[in-house]
Structure 1
């Protein structure tokens, strides 16, 4: 039940209807807009909302849904069902365009049944014989005119007609040129048609110079339109052929209409389908305009909304590049009635109308502008008392009209009613008005209704504070700027800020002081407390916003730092790869020269001078590449390795990581776990990964580049990531990256790594996994979970 009768106009739903109509493509859809009604049937509502939600997905996905030629054809069907009647060419053309659109819609949903089940269901009962459209297209061209070959007879007639018209035109052109040459006709005269016959224009004084019949004359009578005798017979033939053409066209149209007649019933269903699609499309478009959602509807009365906005206010503000302050509100079985107080023009009425309009829109099957996560319920009744209903005819004052509404509310409110009352109890003596309002509120609460009430009465605020099921709410007010903030704060009463506003306006201080005295200490203190509370809350929110701003700046700084770190890390890896490649080339060249020298020495055993020369060259090479004599003699360049000492490892010993080459000092030993210090980094590693080295070797190793070693450790700790992406790298580059991340992981004691290599043909994955088998501290590896990359990612587990 809705109350009053003009509820739609009071909450603004009539404007929503107009917006829907503007989004419709034809009168088919607008007819459905006029039929929109409030319902509490949850099954029907879920169906309507589901259809709209699916169409919003179509629009959001950018799929090309038919959006033209939504033409009504009910009149054509009414005409076609009558025996002997026929559709004109333009009527037949409109029917054809609509049928093309219907079939295109049905084709769109074919194969998308799972994606759009509700919309697909609309077309389940629609079946059109494809031959019907073919029969129409066979006789009509793309412009909606009957084709010349619609029938053999029509083709013959039109050919004869064209021939006769051409002959008549040639004859008349000749006569007109002769008349112009003889001075009987004016220069620039052209052929024209009068009474359906080709004629030539002549000045009235020369009309007897050319033999023929006057078919017409100009408005001034100075020009006559003459049909020369030479073309009389030709024009008669043309006229006869035109009449034959009309008779043949009529015969063809009657025949085509006869083929349509048996399908009138199916076509009416198809017309309803097209109208419904147009209507649902309009609802979806409106939903996108309002940035609305289709929430899940609960069967019980409930309002639990987040960031709701008034649709009309949203559209008007957006046009001016302004934002709307959203409304967050909750009504449930424990908190059924909300008492909103606050200053005038503070947004109380807007909050009330927002609640009423959105609930009404929802129960009409329309999407509403709320935040995701909001919960909505159903009400059987919606009652409002908004605005002034003074009536001279019924001798009703403002207060009387309010009481009339309250009388209806008290009779009809039940547990499934949502009532909205603006300025409760105003219009009469405040003390009595407040008492009556409190009594009415108690009765509405007893009857189990849900509602929102705007008021300035202090006794209602106090009642809400002490009564279960009723809660206070305040429209916030900026006490510094003395401006409304249009924010609803549930859980506390609001002040009218009457004294503050009066002071801003400029009332004299003595008047304000007298007003405080008359209001009484209790009221002034209460307002003072509310003002102080508002100031504190405003200050807290300002600090919160400042903190959020700083946090945002910090996040941006961290992001910039991360990006810079990644850039530097990539550069460092690039330099390392280049250095390794250069070293490898140098070593390869050195090995080649060593082998060549040794071979030359062996070949010239007896030639001391040649041998001596070769040994001198070998010594130069040793100095250049810093190789040992043994390495030169053996022809193999080996990596330098620190000497290992025998004996157990104890705290204070110098040690080396077997698989990494990094050195450190033992801090503590706990079973098989050893805590070692490497520069500025302390790490825990397994005992079997360490080997004891001399103190002298340790000092030599750490003094080579102590600053560099410390920086490297800090960077590794700060920049380390357990995710490595090697997609797009060559195999040698990818393996170098794997080596680097394994080095860092081993030093930092990381238990797990993710190497992202992609699936492709599997070669890179296999090369990486074969490479991992060479690391003693890699326990095992496996594919990532299928939802997080599957075979395209390798999980590596370390000791």
Structure 2
């Protein structure tokens, strides 16, 4: 594992990453491990390191209260007491007690996690026992919670302190009594209290009366008005107290020495425990840094590979986040088929940042750190990483900038292999362009032969040509907005980039006369080449937008088709239900009518056609007749519903048959498409005139727009029919709006989309909703790190037609869905 040059970490700014990780560490021993991070190319060992960070990050993401107090490094002091007769000072012993309790708490916390969680951290516990119950018990027997020696740390200490307490109480009584007498005699002011000088209780008296009290004068006040006298009665008691204090110190020293003797056999194990605590602190710091930079543990393969989605430079990300700006992420692929990526483009377009991002993230990963990528990214491992960036002038070695670059190229060509990642900025610059370009091309050829991998930035046209003509090397371009004349900081792999030298010069305000002269000097071919590059980039961007729009339209069509199928199925079910219901009601109606008639005839027969009875029966019969007529009207409405359903199905069948016949006619008339004829584009309904025909390819003009298409997508029209269909286009717009309203889905799913693309989709969705009169839409963006949700909401806040927006109800998606009221 060799990284070149020695200042590699500084060149990719890994030293700044270390500083940020150190800020997350709790102890000097954790910070030491940050400094000791090293480049690793063993996939198994690296996987173990990343697994520990993943376990810790999962605990932090869940909000669990991981023990974070008293990460104190006792290793230097434990090393000191290896010598017999040495001991830990009281403050060191207190630190030892608190830190060993922290180690025990960490072990307990990890052990209590569920079986399928924290597997890598639990494996650390299995390697060694870090609890030491005997040591902790001894510490608890010696020290109080505040770090003082307990009275019962030993029987002798208890005896000494009891005696000491008795003597202190006695001398306090004597001195208090004498002070009271002094007050009564007027030798001391009434508010005077007992004082202490040199650890002995004394009586403050007026200096004029100091000879009145028998004893020893220990001190006087700054003004000389007060003298501090130790009464003769208290001298002996104070002497006994002083002797007991000496005895107490000797006993405490004996206890500390005895404790050191007791734990001396455990010192090697205790040192390992503090190494464990240091590593836990280090792992936690890496996990917190991963949280801060929204980094992940990517999929790793044991081969040279860079296949990254939405890669972000962590330092730039944090800076932009602080400034509330949006960082443009990087999509990049380097694999066996395209080992060397040659990036070109305008100055200040992001080439060097792209190179540094790759270098920093790959180095971070192989030092055991998570890196800021999107899920689905793949990372490989390299054995060596070489970088040539910046000014490496050396006065001592008498090297110019270009000489320094050549020295680096010498080292690269000599030491690179198939597992080396090269990072070269401004390849070949620093000398006469024609010669520098030739040397650079030869170096590139040699590196390609060695099967090395790398990112190289350049402005040289000959290198772009070389990359396009040789396997293993691929061109890449930093995109540039030719309308706004600003860099887009987006990498496009597959095409070389233009330097946009003339455009940038024109934007700055350089004279047009000078630009024309410059074009004449470099020749038409060079100008045309650069112009073609710009046109290719511009056309690609246009077609990318069209492709995106077409994919959106396809999704819309699929949704509309699904809605139609659903509606048809519902209609079929409704038809069956209505027919069944109509038959039941008709049978019931017929049965009731027959019963009424039979009952009427029977009543008339029984009453022998009595007029009054007959009249009453007739009235009843008329009422029943009216009821039946109402039922008949209801039946008519049911028949009407069924008829409407049948008519709708019939229209659909006719429409399908017309489409089939239309397609057959198109097939028959396809041969009659000719230059100057009128045609209809079957996919869009647009009417145009044929300009060119080349085999199956046709060029048509629609208004002022040229269009390349296929014969199979065109329908020949007569001139009259073309005019008629063109005039009918306005009425079709209303019909399209009506159809769109039927098919519009107020919900939109932008999960997995890039931020800019997601906002574009939301913008189009909001426009459609406003056009169609929809007052409420829902945006499904998922939870994740909240970046997509934040971008969408910031955009919504700028729209005047948005009344308000909020999270969906927790039962229906919560913060993963934004509900927008229009």
Give TM-score scaled by structure 1 length.
0.68
Measure the CA separation in 2 of the matches of 1:231 and 1:548: 101
User: Which segment is superposed worse, 112-121 or 324-333?
Assistant: 112-121
Deviations 1:406-444 (A, max 9, x none): 010010010000010011111111111111111111111
Q: Which residue of 1 aligns with 2:503?
A: 500
Q: Which residue of 2 aligns with 1:532?
A: 535
Q: Which residue of 1 aligns with 2:123?
A: 121
Deviations 1:513-566 (A, max 9, x none): 111111211121222233334444555667788999999999999xxx9xxxxx
Q: 2:523 aligns with which of 520, 531, 535?
A: 520
Q: Which residue of 1 aligns with 2:388?
A: 385
Deviations 1:204-245 (A, max 9, x none): 554334322122345676654332223212211221221222
Q: Which residue of 2 aligns with 1:413?
A: 416
Q: CA deviation at 1:291?
A: 0.4
Measure the CA separation in 1 of the matches of 2:186 and 2:535: 104
Q: CA deviation at 1:107?
A: 1.9
Please say if 1:70 is aligned against 2:71.
yes
Measure the CA separation in 1 of the matches of 2:432 and 2:360: 31
Q: 1:529 to 1:225 in 2, by over 3 A?
A: farther
Within 5 A, what are the aligned runs for 1:297-376?
297-376=300-379
Q: How many residues get paired?
A: 597
1:199/1:228 contact within 8 Å kept? yes
2:156/2:251 contact within 8 Å kept? yes
Measure the CA separation in 1 of the matches of 2:304 and 2:400: 34
Q: 1:181 to 1:510 in 2, by over 3 A?
A: farther
Q: 1:14 to 1:250 in 2, by over 3 A?
A: same
Within 5 A, what are the aligned runs for 1:84-163?
84-110=85-111, 112-127=114-129, 128-163=131-166
Q: Which residue of 1 aligns with 2:46?
A: 45
Q: CA deviation at 1:679?
A: 8.1
Q: CA deviation at 1:454?
A: 0.8
Q: 1:192 aligns with which of 186, 192, 195?
A: 195
Q: Which residue of 2 aligns with 1:212?
A: 215
Within 5 A, what are the aligned runs for 1:395-794?
395-537=398-540, 677=645
Measure the CA separation in 2 of the matches of 1:623 and 1:138: 105
Deviations 1:41-93 (A, max 9, x none): 11111111111111111111222322222221213322443323332332222
1:200/1:225 contact within 8 Å kept? yes
Deviations 1:709-744 (A, max 9, x none): xxxxxxxx999xxxxxxxxxxxxxxxxxxxxxxxxx
Q: 1:496 to 1:195 in 2, by over 3 A?
A: same
2:559/2:743 contact within 8 Å kept? no
Please say if 1:172 is aligned against 2:175.
yes
1:80/1:260 contact within 8 Å kept? no
Q: 1:513 to 1:94 in 2, by over 3 A?
A: same
Q: CA deviation at 1:185?
A: 4.0
Q: 1:275 aligns with which of 274, 278, 285?
A: 278
Measure the CA separation in 2 of the matches of 1:153 and 1:682: 110
Q: 1:665 to 1:277 in 2, by over 3 A?
A: closer
Q: 1:479 to 1:246 in 2, by over 3 A?
A: same
Measure the CA separation in 1 of the matches of 2:206 and 2:555: 89
User: Which segment is superposed worse, 169-178 or 511-520?
Assistant: 169-178
Measure the CA separation in 2 of the matches of 1:129 and 1:106: 11
Q: 1:681 to 1:408 in 2, by over 3 A?
A: same
Q: 1:64 to 1:641 in 2, by over 3 A?
A: farther
Q: 1:664 to 1:456 in 2, by over 3 A?
A: same
Deviations 1:620-662 (A, max 9, x none): 9x999x999xxxxxxxxxxx9999xxxxxxxxxx999xxxx97
Deviations 1:163-212 (A, max 9, x none): 33233334334444554565544565443322221224445554334322
Please say if 1:295 is aligned against 2:304.
no
Aligned residue for 2:126, secondary structure, equals: coil
Q: 1:37 to 1:220 in 2, by over 3 A?
A: farther
Q: CA deviation at 1:468?
A: 1.3
Q: 1:623 to 1:137 in 2, by over 3 A?
A: farther
Measure the CA separation in 2 of the matches of 1:249 and 1:627: 112
User: Which segment is superposed worse, 159-168 or 505-514?
Assistant: 159-168
User: Which segment is superposed worse, 103-112 or 516-525?
Assistant: 103-112
Q: 1:666 to 1:418 in 2, by over 3 A?
A: same
2:423/2:456 contact within 8 Å kept? yes
Q: 1:170 to 1:666 in 2, by over 3 A?
A: closer
Measure the CA separation in 2 of the matches of 1:121 and 1:250: 40
Aligned residue for 1:500, secondary structure, equals: helix
User: Which segment is superposed worse, 63-72 or 507-516?
Assistant: 63-72
Q: CA deviation at 1:469?
A: 1.1
Q: Which residue of 2 aligns with 1:3?
A: 4
Deviations 1:563-599 (A, max 9, x none): xxxxxxxxxxxxxxxxxxxxxxxxxxxxxxxxxxxxx
Structure 1 unpaired stretches of 5+: 562-615, 629-639, 644-653, 668-675, 685-716, 720-799
1:478/1:534 contact within 8 Å kept? no
Aligned residue for 1:87, secondary structure, equals: coil
Q: 1:514 to 1:104 in 2, by over 3 A?
A: same
Q: CA deviation at 1:495?
A: 1.4
1:362/1:368 contact within 8 Å kept? yes
1:438/1:460 contact within 8 Å kept? yes
Measure the CA separation in 2 of the matches of 1:76 and 1:345: 54
1:478/1:538 contact within 8 Å kept? no
1:214/1:227 contact within 8 Å kept? yes
Measure the CA separation in 1 of the matches of 2:234 and 2:423: 84
Q: 1:718 to 1:456 in 2, by over 3 A?
A: closer
Q: Which residue of 1 aligns with 2:258?
A: 255
Structure 1 segments, 4+ long, off by >6 Å, are 541-557, 640-643, 664-667, 681-684
Give TM-score scaled by structure 2 length.
0.66
Q: 1:215 to 1:499 in 2, by over 3 A?
A: same
Measure the CA separation in 1 of the matches of 2:190 and 2:340: 90
Q: CA deviation at 1:10?
A: 0.8
Q: 1:243 aligns with which of 236, 241, 246?
A: 246
Aligned residue for 2:451, secondary structure, equals: coil
Q: 1:189 to 1:683 in 2, by over 3 A?
A: farther
Q: 1:683 to 1:131 in 2, by over 3 A?
A: farther
User: Which segment is superposed worse, 185-194 or 458-467?
Assistant: 185-194
Measure the CA separation in 1 of the matches of 2:638 and 2:89: 95
Deviations 1:659-696 (A, max 9, x none): xx9767989xxxxxxxx946867899xxxxxxxxxxxx
Q: CA deviation at 1:282?
A: 1.1
Measure the CA separation in 2 of the matches of 1:452 and 1:232: 87
Structure 2 unpaired stretches of 5+: 564-615, 653-741, 745-822
Q: CA deviation at 1:115?
A: 1.8
Measure the CA separation in 2 of the matches of 1:424 and 1:203: 91
